Amino acid sequence: MNLNEIARIIEGVLFVSGEGVEIDVFKTRFDMNDREFNKCLDILKQKYNEDSGINIIQYKSKVQLCSNPKIVESISEILNPIRERSLTKAALETVAIIAYKQPITRLEIENIRGVNCDYAIQLLQANNLIEVVGRKDAMGKPLLFGTTDNFLKRFELQSIDALPNYNELLDRIRVIHSEGDSLYREFTIPEEGSEPNNEESVSTDSPNEAIAEDITDISDKESENDDKKTA
């Protein structure tokens, strides 16, 4: 296999990964030395040059595809609103799971939700609603997440022990009056008994109610799974 073919495979791996990949992975897989790997990298850098929307960066012992820094602002203007709309419900579901299950790892959250939670966790951390509280005593020592004092403040709770059960949360808590909050805007919770216009709808006026609904759904799913295991 020639270096052009290897460079094409490296390109595909970096695209699919979306994150930095250890250089040694490629060197071991293709039995390359540093000089040969750098030649492959040069091939890709010629393709993804300053005029391209994509660049190749190398840092520490990793290599990664990234957007061209020259167009970051334009990308953000387009991408951020899309992310906010699509991940608002994800953020609410994620903070609900963390609140009731903490301390909890990212993988445990994803096992409950069934989808990747990286961006939702980043969003919650950026809004100081969750924080890293330690590491789990397991393989890889994964990070453990918990809610912050700001979470209690935002959801009008004196302590985490004051979290009500699902139905009480629906009836009792009213609350985050924060117009323009990227965590909660652009969604509406339907009146009780009515059907939502689309399954991604949650409330701007009462994110606590949204959390309660999400927690109830999660609890129902877990109960169904337990029933299946028992059966």
Answer whether residue 26 shows pLDDT above 90: yes
Mean pLDDT of 103-108: 93
* Residue from 182, 166, 177 nearest 218 by CA: 166
* pTM for this prediction: 0.43
Same domain, 118 and 185: yes
Q: Is the dihedral of CA 29, 31, 33, 39 positive or negative?
A: negative
- Amino acid 33: pLDDT: 94
What is the domain extent for residue 7?
A: 3-67
What per-residue confidence (pLDDT) applies to 119?
A: 83
Instruction: Kindly state the percentage of the chain with pLDDT values over 70.
Output: 67
Q: Tell me, yes or no, whether 62 and 83 share the same domain.
A: no
Distance of CA 89 to the CA centre of its chain: 12
CATH number at 18 reads 1.10.10.10
Highest mean pLDDT among 24-33, 160-169, 190-199: 24-33
Q: What is the pLDDT of residue 37?
A: 94
Q: Which one is predicted more confidently, 82 or 91?
A: 91
